[in-house]
Structures are given as structure tokens and as C-alpha cells.
Amino acid sequence: MSQKIVFMGTPEFSTPTLESLVNSNHKILAVYSQPASKANRGQKIIPSKVEILAKEHTLNLRTPDSLDNDEEYDYLKKLEPDIVIVIAYGKIIPKKFLNLSKYGFINVHASLLPKWRGAAPIQRSIMNLDNQTGISIMKIVEELDAGPVMHQDKIQINENVDSLTLSKVLSKLGAKSIMKAIDKIEKGEARFIEQNHGEATYAKKILKNEGKINWNENAKKVLAKINGLNPNPGAWFEHKNQRFKVWKAEIVNQNNNPGKIIDDRLTIACKEQSIKILEIQKEGKNRQLIDHFLLGNKIKTGEIII
């Protein structure tokens, strides 16, 4: 059986789900994505990953600045979709839109709701030292990520995984999850269960100033920040008025005063244990493995990084 589907998504995280729909027997009526945006320093207009994929498959693409207008409302209404699938679209869907499809607007969210509602669930789960995360398939309601959930898939979080890697894993899992969910909807087997709103936590948007490393935290927490903020905005420290972004590190079982460099391999003590830096980037330079970095940068044993 084939469903008439409208898809809404923007970043690379959304593309495996769109690919799965393209390769299914379902009919994609339209694809919505955020408009193309300027790249770094405004040099070039770059389309979203979903826009690129939609054009490759010659899908009906729409990139409005906002959905909150009569034109988009009327257009979507005329399409008469069975399901609208939303995954990391990045724009608010007006309340009046939510009744325009037969089975509602179905969202693919990268956390185990009601935990980590909001913009940055993957980064927050790593930074919070969670031992598991997953995908939730939920019906969109007016309140952010508060709709009833029909399906969840769980995975474990390795303490060494970064947000980019985890995002790729979850995006593929999300594609599998939504196809199972559509199948349940088709068969009349979908059961949407209300979230326990009292247990909700929120994954607020990551701010650049959150990236500063606090060596007075234990090494597990510091490593979680490094991994959770990799690749953007990145975890960093300052030394002699220069900023250094830490791309990759590991925990070593050594103790000293927090912030003290305890060897010539750029191992830095934390409140408990220490962080051995494996890959680093000096401000204005390219990222380097620590061996190459140390050839041209002398940060001496015994120095203190605040």
C-alpha cells in the first residue's frame, strides 16, 4: 500500500530518511527545506543537503522563508497528504497546519523522549554522560517535542563517540524507524502514547561560549564536552592569549592540580584523572595530530592552563 507523503527536513541528518522514502513505494508529494544560506563569511550561497537530494531525484521542492502564510497553507491543503514527515526541518510549523494530513505530522526526534526535547539532543546526551539514546517517532503538537510517541529505538552511547559520529548513526536509525512507523500506520497498528511531561528535560541550543573547558571538572566530564561539541562549536582552552580547539582526546589515570600540564605529550590534569590530547587546532591554523602539533608549539610541562 502506498502513502502520499510530504517531507520536511534540512540538514544531512534528514537525508537518510528522504532516501528511504524515495526508495519505497510511497509517493512523495513535496519536499520542504530551509532556503539556501550563505556559507562562511558570506562568500557563497549553499543549498541544504535535503535540497540537493531533492533536486537529484527531481522531487517537488519548496523552500519558503516561513510556513506562516496563506500561500503555503493553501498549497499543502491542496496536496491532501496522508502523512507529513518532519525531521530536523528547523522551522516552526503553525498550529493550523497540523490537521492538513490524514494521519498528522510525524516527527523523527533524536532522543528518547521525554528526555532531551529541543534543538541539540545529540550533543546534550553526550555532554550529560548518558549511557543510551535513540530515536523517537512522535506526533507533532503545538508544544515543542511534547506530542505522543508511537515508536522508539534505543542504542548505547560509547564514552569515546563524538556528536558527528553519533549523529550519523542516529540518522540511519531514524530512517529505519520511520519506515517501521509508516508500516504500522498503514496497518492501523499505530498506538500513540502520551509522554510523561513531568520527566521532560530540554536540550537547549549550543552556545559558542559553552565550549571553554573547565579543568576543575573531572576528566570524564571534560571528555564528554570535547566529544559532544565535536565538530561544532568545539571545546577549547586558552594559553598565552591564544585559543586551542581540542578535536580528540582520551582519559589517562593520572592526578595532579587541575589545569596543570603533567608531561611533554600535552596531558592536562583535571579534578579527577587527566586528559591526554590526541588532536588539536591552534586558532587560525589547521587541525593537527598531537605529534605534529608539538613539533612547532612548545607548551611546557608544569605550566598551568586556567
> What tens digit of pLDDT does each residue of 170-192 get?
999 999 999 999 999 999 999 99
Classify domain 4-203 at the CATH class level: alpha beta
CB distance 128 to 154 below 8 Å: no
Residue 38, pLDDT above cutoff 80:
no
Summarize pLDDT for 282-306 with one digit per residue, the tens: 999 999 999 999 998 888 899 999 7
pLDDT level of residue 45 (50, 70, 90 thresholds) = confident
Candidates 132, 127, 120, 134; CA nearest to 158 is 132
What pLDDT shows up at residue 32? Answer: 98
Report CA-CA distances (Å) from 278 to 38, 108, 167, 296, 299: 32, 34, 22, 15, 14
pLDDT at residue 137 greater than cutoff 80: yes
Mean pLDDT of the chain: 95
- What's the whole-number mean pLDDT along residues 215-228? 97
Four-CA torsion 217, 220, 226, 230, nearest 10 degrees: -150
Count the neighbouring beta carbons within 10 Å of the beta carbon of residue 92.
12
Q: Tell me the pairing of strands 117-118 and 202-203.
A: parallel
Domain ranges of the chain: 4-203, 208-296
Determine the average pLDDT of the residues in 97-115: 97
For 208-296, give the CATH class: alpha beta
pTM of the model: 0.93
Query: Alpha helices, DSSP H only, in the chain?
Result: 15-22, 49-56, 70-79, 121-127, 163-186, 219-228, 290-296
- Supply the pLDDT for residue 42: 61
Give pLDDT, residue 159: 87
pLDDT for the residue 230 = 97
Q: Residue 152 in 3-state DSSP?
A: strand
Q: How confident is the model at residue 40 (pLDDT cuts 50, 70, 90)?
A: low
